[in-house]
Chains A and B, each alone.
Chain A
Amino acid sequence: MSALASLIADHVTRRFGDHLAVDDISLTLEPGKITALIGSSGSGKTTLLRLLAGMERPDSGRVLSGTTQLSAPGTFVPIERRKIGLVFQDFALFPHLNALENVMFGLRHLPKADRATLAASWLDRLGLSHRRDAYPHHLSGGEQQRTAIARALAPEPVAILLDEPFSGLDPTMRDQVREAALEAVRAAQIPALLVTHDASEALVNADQIAIIDTGRILQVGPPEDLYRKPSSLEAARALGPVHQIDCDQLPEDWKQYVEPSAKTVWYRPEALQIADGDRFTITRTRLAGPVTELELMLDDGCPVYAACQLGTVLHAGDRVGLSLDPDLLLVF
């Protein structure tokens, strides 16, 4: 099994007319790791996935599986011979086949009895053993999604590409489906690409994150690094809210953390924590799941944003102090 080969985009470019959808992108998907590709809609993330899958031909550059050229000048291995599993946002299950038959679809190389056994074991793994005979239109969204994952993984692909696979799911079941699905993906020990526009999905689940914007990769790295040390404001924003503050407006005791030349600093809300004191007035509180987002005002009127744990009872009008974690200050 060639499962240990990386899937590599090497200086890949794809144009649609005048529009550079993918602009000289290089990205390595390592086996056994989930790489999240995040970016807004139109950033080129789906095009990159389609280039890797062989649904599009690159205008220049190469796509490789290990050392095997899949797309290169003069070479193009069509999608049906790449053995790359695909999972689509709209599931794309075959409406005329039941769940088991959907999973069996890619197993034509096996004897018939083995196909059914293998497909059934995949459905079992994804918790769908009771839904084998159900047709796609009778499956719930989560069940369709897991069937699609089973269908993609059953033929033992050399890589798997997931195009916003969870965005169509009910949020209450999304985490559960995602966990089951990604566990199976991880267990396959193949390169996996998770295209998403959900930063928290990428941060929680990926081993590596690539941020794409207007056809270019802004930054690639482990989630932790990218979150803490984004290389650009765009990269920082892609992973969560950042707020701006003029250096002049920083309280005197915080200015030491900032290089004197910097005019503006950026920070994530977690950089500011509630502390003793009464320098700040809370102007607004907003419950956002496990944390409460705070909008505060310094006495000179400069607004700042912080987050605190749920359970800290605070109200608009309260006066509090804030401490700053200098590691979470961002300067570009």
Chain B
Amino acid sequence: MARTKPKLSVCLTSRVGIKLKRGKAERSMPRLTLSFSAIPPLLVIALVGLPVFAAIFAGVSTGDGATWTHIFENRLVPYTATTLWVLFLSAAIMIALAVPAAWLISQYEFPGRSIFNWALILPLAMPGYVMAYAWADVMGVAGPLQTQLREWTGLSARDYWFPNLFSAPGLAFVLASTLFPYVYITARAAFSMQSLATLEAARSLGAKPFDLFWRVAIPVAAPAIIGGLCLALMEAAADYGAADFLGIQTLGVGIIRSWTSFGEPNTAARLALMLIFIAGTFLVAARIFQGQRGTQQTSVRWRTPQRSDMPVWAGISAFALCTAFLLICFFVPMSRLIWLLLEHQARAPDLMPLIRSTLILGAMGAATAFVAALVFSLATKRHESLRLGARLVAAAGYAAPGAVLGLGALYILRETGQSLSGAIAIGFLIWIYVSRFTSAGVEPMQATLARLPKNLDQASHSLGVTGLRQFWRVDLPLIAPGAFAAALILFVEILKELPATLMLRPFGWDTLAVRAHAYATDERLAQATLPALLIVLAGLAPVLLLSWRLSQSERT
């Protein structure tokens, strides 16, 4: 396996401009050698890592000995417990949603399959806070569900129990229903990429469809599914908007509250450390798990598995299941928002400046983060010595919620004597986006790279194609499906980003997310619906394109 036995020859020959001749004795010990091609990834590592470490440094360096007990007992323990509980619940919900859907869609033909195939990615366009606003209204005492229930039963509002969205399970449900596409996409890809022969071998050994799923498909796809789940959970951990709106005391909320309301920047930094630790643990666990079980097949023929037909009753059940998922995670909240908008005919505020600033920031941030992610993925493939550091830094950047990175940015600003205004503020905001989201772009790229036969590098070199030419002719086309996914995920994520934007935006650069959240938390939900819907719509286009490209790349 490439992971356990570094191919030194790859590292050496891929360097631009430097040719080394080494004896066999030396070859066994990879050395940290710097070369031109190592400079861009090192720069990216610095760029991504700096805000995180600035924030951590800011928290640790300011002494506050006496308040530590207070922080520990009143902040750290309760916030951490709540966060872990929410994450656990949302992981369970995401797996329950994503894995069955991915399996059905990748393996079987049933009514509506080709629509569900892409439609189940739609919730990705919906930020957690928008989902929270919509479901809070649907499930509220005056909402359509409870009203209908009272009409049917004749009970009054105090006579019955109804699930309360303003609770930890409520938050878990909201986060899971927006983030499960991460798991769905990776699970579906893993199921589709499985060697058809493996499934056929299992069937020839007597495995029934149920066995295929539990004994072959799930274990083989587990690393990919856990990878996707980690991504989603880190995202969930960094949520601020939904938890803030629902009043759940997660670490994300705690960090901002400590910083703004309580005036305790050190508490914020400590809570952030805990959050980074939690997210890092997820990542490390996933890596250990992946390392144990090599998934690289020596397969020489890759065939897309053919989907099998289902009996009518099973097909209808699959259809019903996928329809239910789609309604819950997208169409019910969306149609509620549209309903609210039409019902209240809210006087539309002038949204054009909001839209403009949202698009400009999103495009600039995504482009920068994309380049960073590309440099990262390719460099860590080649430079063994950079891999660990790069991963740590990317993970730290991604796991750190926007608020912490914002804090880091403010610290750097102060230390360099700059003020938060105009172009400098925008520059810092883009920087924070890159720091925060580069690893979201790296994940799909590396997932693509990991599936490629490991001899491609050597094949390319043997044909005299190395360096930049190899990048254009081999790496880029191969990484393209992953890279495309990466670019779109980056754009959508930046568009939806709330806390860092809230903290760092210069005057006049309110984004749709900032304004929507301001309205919603002021209980002016009617006014929040239009910017919220626009966020979803803007996010929809890349998500649709993403799902189209995904299905294309699976077909070839």
Residues B203 and A95 in contact, CB atoms below 8 Å apart? no
Q: Tell me, in angstroms, the Cα distance from A89 to B300 when the chains sit together.
A: 8
Question: Separation in Å of the A118 CB from the closest CB of chain B?
Answer: 13
Residues A105 and B197 in contact, CB atoms below 8 Å apart? no
Question: Separation in Å of the B517 CB from the closest CB of chain A?
Answer: 44
B115 in contact (CB, < 8 A): no
- Say whether, besides A90-B195, A90-B197, A135 and B293 are in contact (CB < 8 Å): yes
- Identify A79's interface contact among B198, B203, B220, CB under 8 A: B203
CB proximity to B under 8 Å, residues A142-162: 144, 148, 151-152, 155, 157
Q: Tell me, in angstroms, the Cα distance from A136 to B293 when the chains sit together.
A: 10
Q: Tell me, in angstroms, the Cα distance from A162 to B204 when the chains sit together.
A: 12
Contacts of B293 in A (CB 8 A): 95-96, 135
A286 in contact (CB, < 8 A): no
Residues B298 and A137 in contact, CB atoms below 8 Å apart? yes
Contacts of A83 in B (CB 8 A): 206
Residues B200 and A90 in contact, CB atoms below 8 Å apart? no
Contacts of B71 in A (CB 8 A): none
Contact indicator per residue, chain A 190-207, by CB within 8 Å of chain B (1) or not (0): 000000000000000000
- Identify A137's interface contact among B204, B219, B220, B296, CB under 8 A: B296
A139 — nearest CB in chain B belongs to which residue? B298
Residues A95 and B220 in contact, CB atoms below 8 Å apart? yes
Residues B299 and A90 in contact, CB atoms below 8 Å apart? yes
Residues B205 and A106 in contact, CB atoms below 8 Å apart? yes
A211 in contact (CB, < 8 A): no
Contact indicator per residue, chain A 111-152, by CB within 8 Å of chain B (1) or not (0): 000000000000000000000000111100100100010011
- Say whether, besides A137-B1, A137-B298, A92 and B201 are in contact (CB < 8 Å): yes
A108 — nearest CB in chain B belongs to which residue? B206
A177 in contact (CB, < 8 A): no
Question: Separation in Å of the B497 CB from the closest CB of chain A?
Answer: 37
Q: Tell me, in angstroms, the Cα distance from A79 to B204 when the chains sit together.
A: 5
- Say whether, besides A135-B293, A144-B298, A168-B300, A94 and B216 are in contact (CB < 8 Å): yes
Count of chain A residues near B, Cβ 8 A:
37
A81 in contact (CB, < 8 A): yes
Contacts of B1 in A (CB 8 A): 137-138
Residues A89 and B301 in contact, CB atoms below 8 Å apart? yes
Question: Separation in Å of the B208 CB from the closest CB of chain A?
Answer: 6
- Identify A105's interface contact among B195, B215, B220, B296, CB under 8 A: B215
A53 in contact (CB, < 8 A): yes
B208 — nearest CB in chain A belongs to which residue? A80
B321 in contact (CB, < 8 A): no
B477 in contact (CB, < 8 A): no
Contacts of B201 in A (CB 8 A): 86, 88, 92-94, 148, 151
CB proximity to A under 8 Å, residues B197-253: 197-198, 200-208, 211, 215-216, 219-220, 222
Residues B205 and A82 in contact, CB atoms below 8 Å apart? no
Residues A80 and B207 in contact, CB atoms below 8 Å apart? yes
A55 in contact (CB, < 8 A): yes
- Say whether, besides A79-B200, A137-B296, A94 and B220 are in contact (CB < 8 Å): yes
Question: Separation in Å of the A146 CB from the closest CB of chain B?
Answer: 14
Residues B205 and A90 in contact, CB atoms below 8 Å apart? no
Residues A96 and B204 in contact, CB atoms below 8 Å apart? no
CB proximity to B under 8 Å, residues A64-116: 78-86, 88-97, 105-106, 108-109
Residues B219 and A96 in contact, CB atoms below 8 Å apart? yes
Contacts of B299 in A (CB 8 A): 90, 92
Residues B204 and A80 in contact, CB atoms below 8 Å apart? yes
Contacts of B156 in A (CB 8 A): none
Give the interface of B toward A (CB within 8 A). Answer: 1, 195, 197-198, 200-208, 211, 215-216, 219-220, 222, 293-301
Give the interface of A toward B (CB within 8 A). Answer: 53, 55, 78-86, 88-97, 105-106, 108-109, 135-138, 141, 144, 148, 151-152, 155, 157, 168
Closest 10 CB pairs of A and B: A106-B205, A92-B197, A137-B294, A96-B219, A86-B204, A90-B299, A92-B201, A79-B203, A88-B197, A80-B203
Can you list 15 A-B contacts (CB < 8 A)? A79-B203, A80-B204, A84-B204, A86-B204, A90-B297, A92-B198, A95-B220, A95-B294, A108-B206, A108-B211, A135-B294, A136-B298, A137-B294, A137-B298, A151-B205
